Amino acid sequence: MKVKLLIALAIFSLAACNPATESNSEAADSSGTAIITAADASASIVLPQSENDVTRKSFEAFAAGDMNGFSANWDDNVKIYYPGPGDSLMGKKAALEFFTERRSKYDSVTLFNPTFLAVKNNEPNSPVALGKWLMSWHTFIYKMKNSKTVVLPIHSVMHYNSAGKADIIALYYDMHRLMEAGK
């Protein structure tokens, strides 16, 4: 199941970032930005940067130690896939307990250089869920309670349901860095 989800997300990511060509009924403006024509109304589209605000605030809340703010936009039945033992968390309660325990190991966390891309998948034949998907690339700088510092680049992919809550979250990072620093 996890492998199928990752493959589907990779395919969706590639399709969402496909450069504009005349053959797919898209044109490009002088900046190279794809312009989707009316004929492509069912295609996936890039959403305005304002669509990223909720997720940006969530990551900022995690850095500040505000775990309720961090999880505020999660659905009660959220599925979180991440590297590490177990490989996934099911449900907001279990995920919040896990991340609260994890956050307690750090003296401070700094969110550095966040980049977000929100897209809406309207393609009925898509291998991934329809609706809003948000991808992010950022770095957290963790100051551990044992005085070690870990710089951790993270990539995340999130699906938002019709209620505006994240119901699927996939996190990609090198768990080994955190495990080594925690020793």
Give the domain range for residue 177.
39-181
Please report the pLDDT score of residue 84 as a whole number: 67
- Examine residue 140 and state whether it is found in any structural domain, yes or no: yes
User: Measured between alpha carbons, how far is 149 from 177 in angstroms, rounded to an integer?
Assistant: 10
**Alpha-carbon distance values, 128 to 9, 46, 159 (Å):** 7, 16, 9
Per-residue pLDDT tens digits for 117-128: 999 998 888 888
The pTM (predicted TM-score) of the whole model is: 0.73
Please report the pLDDT score of residue 43 as a whole number: 67
Number of domains within the chain:
1
Per the CB < 8 A criterion, the answer to whether 121 and 138 are in contact is no
Average pLDDT over the chain, rounded to an integer:
80
As a whole number, mean pLDDT of residues 111-115 equals 92
For residue 71, pLDDT over 60 is answered with yes
Per-residue pLDDT tens digits for 129-173: 999 999 999 999 999 998 999 999 999 999 999 999 999 999 998
- Examine residue 152 and state whether it is found in any structural domain, yes or no: yes
- Examine residue 77 and state whether it is found in any structural domain, yes or no: yes
CATH number for the domain harbouring residue 168? 3.10.450.50
- Examine residue 6 and state whether it is found in any structural domain, yes or no: no
- Examine residue 102 and state whether it is found in any structural domain, yes or no: yes
